Amino acid sequence: MAFNTPQIIDTARQVLEIAATIAFALSGVIKAAHKKLDVVGVCVVAFIAAFGGGTLRDLLLDQRPFFWVRHENFVWVVMLVSLLAVGFMRQRHFAVTERAMLWPDMLGLGLFAAVGVDMAAEQGMSPLMCVMMGVITGVFGGVLRDVLCGEIPQAFRDHQPYAVCAFIGGWVDILLRNSPVPEMAPMLACVFVTAGLRAIALWRQWRLPSWRVE
């Protein structure tokens, strides 16, 4: 059986993007529930978290229509995830805490970073721009989510590596693209390095330098 490599890569990218969309939608649901928003507010915050980074990426890469318009199923997935998650949390009396949001947020960061790097590389962007597109795709949805909920974005205020993790993961992706490895290896490495670094940073309580205010 002959395999169409570009088609395989495109399918893999869509799988990663769906997984990232679900992960960030869950982070948005948890954030909105923590703020005690109604079901409409929960859905809106979930949409912003899931689609914000990819929409900005598509704007910068001049991709039309946006990825969630091209793949309408993404919208249905976010709506379904939002409603099911709200129902589950209410029924199970789930403890809606900031910490509960960290894990889907961490996974979404890695997945979206990999997709952003891959899409920019496909368009022939320079290595630095590919990495920056990965960072934007992975980080911006969470930033918009927090702003919409009336907070300074967690990526800017908790002093733990976040965008830095996506930046490092993006460079791992780029380096592997110039190495004799399987086609899927760069994207998968970006996911694992980005999410793994974020998990270690949370576990070890790593801190970025901050301002010293007297």
Q: How confident is the model at residue 212 (pLDDT cuts 50, 70, 90)?
A: low
The CA distance from 145 to 40, in Å, is 14
**What six digits make up the tokens of 7?**
């088609």
pLDDT in tens, 138-190: 999 999 999 999 988 888 887 888 999 999 999 999 999 888 888 888 999 99
Q: Which residue has the higher pLDDT, 138 or 9?
A: 138
Residue 179 parent element (H or E): none
* Residue found by looking up tokens 């009336």 in the block: 150
Q: Which residues are CB-neighbours of 123 under 8 A, at least 6 positions away?
A: 61
